[in-house]
Amino acid sequence: MVQGLGRGWARRLVRLHRMSQDAQPRLLGAGQIRELAGRLGVRPTKQWGQNFVIDANTVRRVVRLADLGPQDVVVEVGPGLGSLTLALLPQVSRVVAVEVDPNLAAALPDTVAASAPAYSDRLEVVLADAMSVHALPDPQPTALVANLPYNISVPVVLSFLEAFPTLRRALVMVQLEVAERLAAPPGSRTYGIPSLKAAWYAEVRLAGTVSRTVFWPAPNVDSGLVALNRREPPVTPASRKEVFACIDAAFSQRRKTLRAALAGWAGSATNAETALRAAGVDPRLRGEQLDIDAFAAIAAARSALVSP
């Protein structure tokens, strides 16, 4: 009797395991990606920075590093043929896929229906250029996860963090050099405008590297994974726009001292020095030596000096 009960439970567990496997998406490999592209008449274009991920292990890794939960609403920029989309859908409550290519946008729901039918209702496709997206359908996104086109990666990250305060974290795959710039600390060789502007919104780190061989067509460089966790911006009376203008001015002449580099922004070298000293910053320093809080203090000091 006990043995029969044991066999019955064993059979039930096997059935449940098979049902669970059937519900999991069939991720796309190199062959499926090329076959799907051929069927859709898709030829990757440099104009839209299309390099499709053809390795299932890579998309699993991206999803794992994104640290997602069942309540998350993910915005994915540039889903392409759906490699990453299929891996995201089982992990979250919703995926809003922003795609600029009408052909790919129209095909994505069919790909999900064929490879992940249990999760079709979790997908919403928005046909739009990510550079012009300032609103998304509710519920609002809590995470950005994307394989971003190299030529627009930094503007997209910054614009989405600005436009969607509900975003608490992001995991983006970008050109390795760009990833290193975004995550660079003050004083490092790659530290600059992207590092500082990203730091306004988030704590940023390099979460890993990705070989160029996992893409089709393969780019000429490797990629990096950048993790961003939202933080409160610096406490300052200066606006974000004022702080960013100060950063832009400081790095427009990177090798000059801040006194010289900020002269145009402040109205004169003397004004720049006055603002720097009021912020507690040595005018002889260069921009690459300061963190985001220091730039916020400089912008605030300058605003105070010009206020009536």
Nearest to 141 by CA among 105, 111, 97, 184: 97
Nearest to 225 by CA among 242, 209, 204, 244: 209
Tens digit of each residue's pLDDT (9 = 90 or more) over 7-34:
554 455 444 444 444 568 899 888 999 9
Nearest to 165 by CA among 90, 89, 240: 240
Threshold 0.75, pTM exceeds: yes
Q: Is the peptide bond before 237 cis (omega within 30 degrees of 0)?
A: no
Rounded-to-integer distance, Cα 217 and Cα 240, Å: 38
Q: What does DSSP assign to residue 123? A: E
Q: How many residues does the chain have?
A: 308
Scanning 77-192, the segments in alpha helix (DSSP H) are: 83-88, 102-115, 153-163, 176-183
Rounded-to-integer distance, Cα 284 and Cα 179, Å: 29
Q: What does DSSP assign to residue 233? A: P
* pLDDT category of residue 1 using cuts at 50, 70 and 90: very low
Give mean pLDDT, residues 162-177.
Answer: 97
Nearest to 54 by CA among 32, 23, 78: 32
Give the contacts of 57 (CB within 8 A, at least 6 positions apart). none
Is pLDDT at 299 greater than 70 in this prediction?
yes
Identify any residues that bridge with 203 across adjacent strands, giving them in sequence order.
229
Answer whether 50's CB lies under 8 Å from 71's CB: no
Q: How far apart are the first and last CA of the chain?
A: 91
Rounded-to-integer distance, Cα 303 and Cα 308, Å: 10
Give mean pLDDT, residues 78-90.
Answer: 96
Q: Please tell me the predicted confidence (pLDDT) of residue 218.
A: 87
Count of CB atoms within 10 A of residue 205's CB? 15
Q: Please tell me the predicted confidence (pLDDT) of residue 203.
A: 98
Reduced to 3 states (helix: H, G, I; strand: E, B; else coil), residue 76 is strand
Tens digit of each residue's pLDDT (9 = 90 or more) over 58-77:
999 999 999 999 999 999 99
Q: Please tell me the predicted confidence (pLDDT) of residue 150.
A: 82
Answer whether 63's CB lies under 8 Å from 145's CB: yes
Q: What are phi and psi of 256, to 5 degrees?
A: -85, 160
Is pLDDT at 227 greater than 60 in this prediction?
yes
Q: Please tell me the predicted confidence (pLDDT) of residue 306.
A: 78
pLDDT: which is higher, 29 or 245: 245
Q: Please tell me the predicted confidence (pLDDT) of residue 49.
A: 62
Return the sign of the alpha-carbon dihedral for residues 151, 157, 159, 163: positive
Nearest to 148 by CA among 71, 225, 86: 225
Is pLDDT at 41 greater than 50 in this prediction?
yes
Rounded-to-integer distance, Cα 293 and Cα 299, Å: 10
* pLDDT category of residue 254 using cuts at 50, 70 and 90: confident
Is pLDDT at 94 greater than 50 in this prediction?
yes
Q: Please tell me the predicted confidence (pLDDT) of residue 16.
A: 41
Count of CB atoms within 10 A of residue 92's CB? 21
Return the residue matching tokens 């966790």.
Answer: 229
Q: Please tell me the predicted confidence (pLDDT) of residue 13.
A: 42
Q: Going from the N-terminus, what domains does the chain have, and what CATH number goes with each? A: 26-230 (3.40.50.150), 240-306 (1.10.8.100)
Answer whether 237's CB lies under 8 Å from 305's CB: no
* pLDDT category of residue 87 using cuts at 50, 70 and 90: very high
Distance, CA of 114 to chain centre: 27
* pLDDT category of residue 119 using cuts at 50, 70 and 90: very high
Q: What is the percent of the chain where pLDDT is above 90? A: 80
